[in-house]
Amino acid sequence: MHQVSSPGSIVVLTGAGISKESGLDTFRDHDGLWARVRIEDVATPEGYRRNPQRVQAFYNARRRELSQGSVEPNPAHLALARLEREWPGEVLVVTQNIDDLHERAGTSRLIHMHGELLKVRCERCARPLPWAADIDESSLCPECERTGTLRPHVVWFGEVPLEMDRILAALEKCSLFVSIGTSGHVYPAAGFVTAVREAGRARTVELNLEPSHGASLFHEVRTGPASELVPAFVEETLSSAAQNANL
Ligand code: APR
C-alpha cells in the first residue's frame, strides 16, 4: 500500500499589507497610519486614559471607513479562502489585522490576535459585542446597561494578544508557515517564524511587498503585491498537493 504522506497543516500570518490593495492604510509605510498619529496617543491604554475621546474618534473613523466605505476583500484574501476550501489538511489564518476582509472573503478558521474593529468591549462586563457604529460616552452597553464603558475590542500596545495558546499550538505542528503583508516589527507575531523554525518541520515562506525586518529567518522570500503573490502561491501549493496525491 503506497503510504501517501499526510498533507500537513498550514498556518498563515497576515498583516496590514494584505489589506492595502483593498484601500486600507498600513501602519509603517511612508503613508501609513503611524505617519499621521502617534501610537502612544491612540493605541495604548495610557493614551486611552489620557484622552478617551481622541482614541474613540480614531477608531470611529476607521470603523466608518470599513463598514460604510467601498472596502472589499482583494484577490489575496480570496486566495486564502480558496486554500482553506481546497487544501486537504488544516489551514489556520492568524491575522494581526482588525478589519473583517478575511471573513468577507470566506475564511472561517481565523484568529484576530489584535482584536476586531467591528466589535466593542465593555470595561465593566468585558463581553466583546458586534458594533459597527461610532462609540462615544453616551454609548450604552446592551449587557450591563451602563454608559461610557464601551471601548474598541482592539489589543493595544502593552496589552495581551488574543488566543496565543491556540496560535502557538498550530505553529508547533504546521508543515507550512506563510507570512503575508507584515513588516515583522511587532511581537509576538514577528517571532512566529522563529517558533516554527525551532519546531523543525515546516517550510517557511514570506510574501511581502519588500523584504520584512525578519526576512532572513524565512526559507523563501517572494516580493511583490499580495494580490499577485498570494493567488499564485495558493495555486502552486494546491497543484503540488494534487500531484503528490496522484503519485
Ligand atoms: N502587498 C504585500 N505587502 C504589502 C503591500 C502589498 N500591496 N503593501 C504594503 N505591504 C507590506 C509593507 O512592505 C510592510 O512590510 O506590508 C507591511 C505592513 O507593515 P506594517 O505597516 O508594520 O503593518 P503590520 O506588520 O501589520 O503591523 C503589525 O503593528 O501597529 C501595530 O497592531 C498594529 O497589527 C499591527 C501591528
Our answer on whether the CB atom of 106 is closer than 6 Å to any ligand 1 atom is no
Q: Do 140 and 165 fall within a single domain?
A: no
Which of 154, 184, 208 corresponds to the end of one domain?
154
Q: Do 66 and 76 fall within a single domain?
A: no
Using CA atoms, how far apart are residues 84 and 87, in angstroms rounded to an integer? 6
pLDDT of residue 118: 97
7 confidence band (pLDDT: 50, 70, 90): confident
The CATH number of the domain holding residue 14 is 3.40.50.1220
pLDDT of residue 1: 47
On whether 223 is known to bind a ligand per the annotation, the reply is no
Q: Do 78 and 188 fall within a single domain?
A: yes
Instruction: Establish how many alpha carbons lie within 13 A of residue 203's alpha carbon, considering only the half-sphere containing its beta carbon.
Output: 9
Q: Which ligand 1 atom is the nearest neighbour of the CA of 226? A: 1
244 confidence band (pLDDT: 50, 70, 90): confident
Choose the residue to mutate in 13, 14, 25, 27 for probing ligand 1, maximizing ligand atoms within 8 Å of C-beta: 27
Using CA atoms, how far apart are residues 154 and 66, in angstroms rounded to an integer? 15
114 a catalytic residue: yes
Q: Do 19 and 82 fall within a single domain?
A: yes
Specify the pairing of strand 10-14 against strand 176-180. parallel
Our answer on whether the CB atom of 28 is closer than 6 Å to any ligand 1 atom is yes
Q: Which of 77, 102, 112, 114 is catalytic?
A: 114
53-68 tens-digit pLDDT = 999 999 999 999 998 8
Q: Do 103 and 11 fall within a single domain?
A: yes
Element (H, E) at 50: helix 45-50
Instruction: Calculate mean pLDDT across residues 39-43.
Output: 97
- Ligand 1 centroid–CA 39 distance in Å is 15
Q: Do 138 and 206 fall within a single domain?
A: no
Q: What's the distance, Cα to Cα, between the start and end of the chain in Å? A: 12
Instruction: Identify residue 197 by its one-letter amino acid code.
Output: R
Our answer on whether the CB atom of 238 is closer than 6 Å to any ligand 1 atom is no
Contacts of 170 (CB under 8 A, 6+ apart): 9, 11, 92, 94
pLDDT of residue 245: 79
Query: What is the reported pTM?
Result: 0.96
The CATH number of the domain holding residue 133 is 3.30.1600.10
5 confidence band (pLDDT: 50, 70, 90): low
Instruction: Calculate mean pLDDT across residues 188-198.
Output: 98
Q: Do 124 and 226 fall within a single domain?
A: no
* Domain count across the chain: 2
Our answer on whether the CB atom of 237 is closer than 6 Å to any ligand 1 atom is no
Domain holding 169, by residue range, is 1-24+72-114+161-246
pLDDT for residue 175 is more than 70 = yes
C-alpha distances out from residue 192 to 26, 123, 186, 214, Å: 20, 30, 11, 10
Burial class (CB in 10 A: 0-12, 13-18, 19+), 204: buried
C-alpha distances out from residue 75 to 79, 87, 103, 104, Å: 6, 17, 13, 12
Q: Do 54 and 136 fall within a single domain?
A: yes
